Structure 1
């Protein structure tokens, strides 16, 4: 494999998108280290098939299942933790390496990697990974993922079977996605649920965290994203209160706090 010792590696965030049958929710969310090591080998085999040139990259996976909201939080902490852990491993400085971070004594390697069981309930689950790419290959690999994976990124039957057996789930579909794909999917879901203003707040927090965004909800209530926090005016009726609770729950799942506007005035 290519020597990494003197090269800068750039993380490329990826997602294994897993749709399970209604009765197929996972019995457990994280895999033990032995199973995690086997999983990264299977995922690597699929990536070699789907992404030309990926053999020059390192690979780090979180051997756990998450709700998409936990992946789409400001700073993208799950992917950031994977990249950080990869960089801390001495062997990563020598050659492209396969690293799987599973559960040891019931705990993941970093708090950011702990799946939140309170969020699990949707049939759509994700398993995150990062490719650690040489600087000169990053743009080409990213472009291929963005343009080709939409139509040609189905996981192999071997990988789907491994997921079924190791997580005790029943999968309907398993495919590889970019993080941008996940963002687009999440935007579509919120827009279809008449939560487009809420998505505007989330999009700002995720992609332009230093900017500000003001929106009006369906009820006409004002929400402001600024300095990593969403604030809103006091509620005036039961309908607005119900909407606020919905916004608060969704924002919390994405790692954002909703506060009264007065508490942010300074």
Structure 2
């Protein structure tokens, strides 16, 4: 996929779109349940590209929020890959499914409760094996899954019954598909300006990205963290409203409300970045002039 995960060949997820108001009875399956779901997933994936059956499928009997998958270095998929590497035997064509034992999943696979309850839940998978086969299957999946990646009816029903969910649609996506879908959703939610920062953190963790757009907070992604400029009210005025030096009392009240909205936007950006696993540091800037230097 990229240099963030050099040992992983094809990363994706079974996406379960839930009916409104749906709550999950279970967020993790036992070993038998995980194995049964994995077998159905393997059958579906081979239907999209026959050579997928020659690759090793690794998955887990659990479902997660989007922000748990879309993080720098793809930690959930990496954890699956590392756990599977301990399993003996030939990797070609086998299915490895991790389930819960006494209610506990292995390694770092436990879903985070603070992100439970969303309308889209994801069962991650890794396909690996012969590099040439994986490359061909990966190309086919990147090209076709978004358009024709609906899961089989038996798979959707099994997931619904096993997890205790009300599944409206079940489909397969690569992580690139998932990222593209989230970029569109964030755009609809008014969060498009932050997406290039998130995208850089996920796809090129060692890259550098600036957000210096219009009225938005200043964000600098560098050294694998996001640095957000924290202005004093006066410094904020200098940057965003330099014409306000001689404002009336009424205008000052309006600016105070605008500054409060700006601070709320900072908190929103910070929460979203941290949910995606990007560390956030607030950098105090006493003047607009030194903000760029202090965030560097």
1:248 aligns with: 270
Offset at 1:202?
A: 0.5
How far apart, in 2, do the equivalents of 1:148 and 1:259 lie?
39
1:107 equivalent among 104, 107, 119: 104
- Is the 1:62–1:127 Cα contact (8 Å) retained in structure 2? yes
Moved >6 Å (runs of 4+): 263-266
Offset at 1:210?
A: 0.9
- Is the 2:127–2:134 Cα contact (8 Å) retained in structure 1? no
2:141 aligns with: 145
2:223 aligns with: 227
Are 1:238 and 2:238 an aligned pair?
A: no
Unaligned runs of 5+ in 1: 1-8
Count of matched residue pairs: 256
> Taking structure 2 as the reference length, what is the TM-score of the superposition?
0.82
Q: Who wins on radius of gyration, i.e. which is larger? A: 2
- Out of 173-182 and 232-241, give the one that drifted further: 232-241
- Is the 2:10–2:128 Cα contact (8 Å) retained in structure 1? yes
User: Residues 159 and 218 (structure 1 numbering): CA distance in 2 closer, same or farther, change over 3 Å?
Assistant: farther
How far apart, in 2, do the equivalents of 1:183 and 1:37 lie?
27
> Taking structure 1 as the reference length, what is the TM-score of the superposition?
0.90
How far apart, in 2, do the equivalents of 1:44 and 1:156 lie?
11
2:33 aligns with: 35
Secondary structure of 2:73's match?
coil
How far apart, in 2, do the equivalents of 1:25 and 1:133 lie?
36
Higher relative contact order (CA 8 A, sep 6+): 1
2:172 aligns with: 176
RMSD over aligned Cα atoms: 1.9
Offset at 1:56?
A: 1.1
1:131 aligns with: 127
- Is the 1:230–1:258 Cα contact (8 Å) retained in structure 2? yes
- Is the 1:10–1:134 Cα contact (8 Å) retained in structure 2? no
- Is the 2:145–2:173 Cα contact (8 Å) retained in structure 1? yes
Offset at 1:245?
A: 1.2
After superposition, residues 17-166 of structure 1 pair within 5 angstroms as 17-93=15-91, 95-111=92-108, 113-166=109-162
Secondary structure of 2:156's match?
helix
1:5 aligns with: none
Q: Residues 30-82 of structure 1, C-alpha deviation per residue, up to 9 Å, x if partnerless?
A: 11112111111111111122222112101100211100110000000011111
Unaligned runs of 5+ in 2: 1-6, 234-258, 286-293
User: Residues 116 and 92 (structure 1 numbering): CA distance in 2 closer, same or farther, change over 3 Å?
Assistant: farther
1:214 aligns with: 210
1:202 equivalent among 179, 198, 222: 198
Offset at 1:24?
A: 2.0
Higher helix proportion: 2
- Out of 64-73 and 113-122, give the one that drifted further: 113-122
